[in-house]
């Protein structure tokens, strides 16, 4: 009897704890209809007034160009996918950076190499379930948050 009571109590505790630990909403679409083209300030910041987003790109510049100030005055292109990942790239970038949001930070989810020679005229389009990367008139790739699924050379 005592054993049975212990089992009941343990089950109740598990149910209570599981209900308190997480409340998850589903069918969320984070995607932006169109990319944001943002100019990097001398302080290495980009600010997207429309979406209320700002962050420092010094570490991206260091990672891509080995120079933390390489992006100052340049434009970067940012698009959020429906999953909620931020796709970031720009002219002369060899990679597309996929970032995920955390408390006061964007952390790297993946780095997708798209052009060993560097992109000439990049643009990001929302093409659910993918993100389309264009480079000028003739190059297009479909990206997931991890890899190139179409147009891989």
Partner 1 sequence: MKTTASGLLLFLLCALTVLPAFGQESDYAVKEGFEEAFRLISARIETATTIASLDSLKAEIDALEITYTDKSELLDKVLYPETFVEKIKGLRTMQTLTYDKVYLIQTQGVRLDELQMKVVYLTNKLDTLSAQRDRLWADLQTAQKSNAELRETVKRLQANLAAKDRLIFALVDSIFLPFGKDLSQLGDVPRESLGRQLEKANVIGRVEEIANDNVKFLSVTQLQGKDYGNLVDQYQQFNTRWKGLRDKMAAVAQASGRGPSGAGAGKAKGQPALTEAPGPDTTGARVDSTLVQWGNKLQSMFWGGIRKEFTDKGVTIDPFVDAPSFAASIRTLAAGLKASGQDPSLFVNEIWKARIDKEWRDALTREGMLGKAEYASLDKLVSELNPEKLDLKFIIYLFVVVLLVFGGWWFFVRKPKVTRIEPE
Binding site for partner 1 (CB under 8 A): 33-35, 37, 77, 123-126, 134, 137-138, 140
| Unique residue bearing structure tokens 């995920």 | 100
C-alpha span between 134 and 144 (Å, rounded): 14
Q: How far apart are CB 123 and partner 1 at their closest, in Å?
A: 3
Q: Which residue lies nearer to partner 1 by CB, 32 or 65? A: 32
For 4, list phi and psi in degrees, rounded to 5: -60, -40
Q: Which residue lies nearer to partner 1 by CB, 35 or 64? A: 35
Question: Residue 124: beta bridge partners?
Answer: 133
Q: Which residue lies nearer to partner 1 by CB, 118 or 151? A: 151
> Angle CA(92)–CA(104)–CA(147) in degrees, nearest 5?
40
Q: How far apart are CB 115 and partner 1 at their closest, in Å?
A: 16
């Amino acid at each position: 009897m005592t054993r049975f009571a212990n089992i009941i109590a343990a089950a109740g505790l598990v149910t209570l704890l599981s209900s308190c630990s997480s409340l998850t909403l589903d069918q969320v679409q984070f995607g932006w209809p169109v990319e944001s083209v943002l100019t990097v300030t001398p302080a290495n910041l980009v600010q997207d007034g429309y979406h209320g987003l700002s962050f420092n790109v010094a570490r991206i510049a260091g990672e891509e160009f080995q120079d933390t100030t390489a992006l100052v005055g340049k434009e970067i292109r940012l698009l959020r996918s429906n999953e909620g990942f931020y796709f970031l790239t720009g002219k002369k970038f060899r990679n597309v950076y996929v970032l995920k949001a955390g408390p006061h930070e964007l952390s790297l989810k993946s780095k997708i190499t798209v052009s060993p020679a560097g992109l000439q005229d990049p643009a990001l389009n929302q093409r659910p379930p993918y993100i389309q990367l264009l480079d000028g008139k003739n190059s297009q790739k479909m990206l997931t948050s991890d890899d190139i699924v179409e147009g891989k050379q």
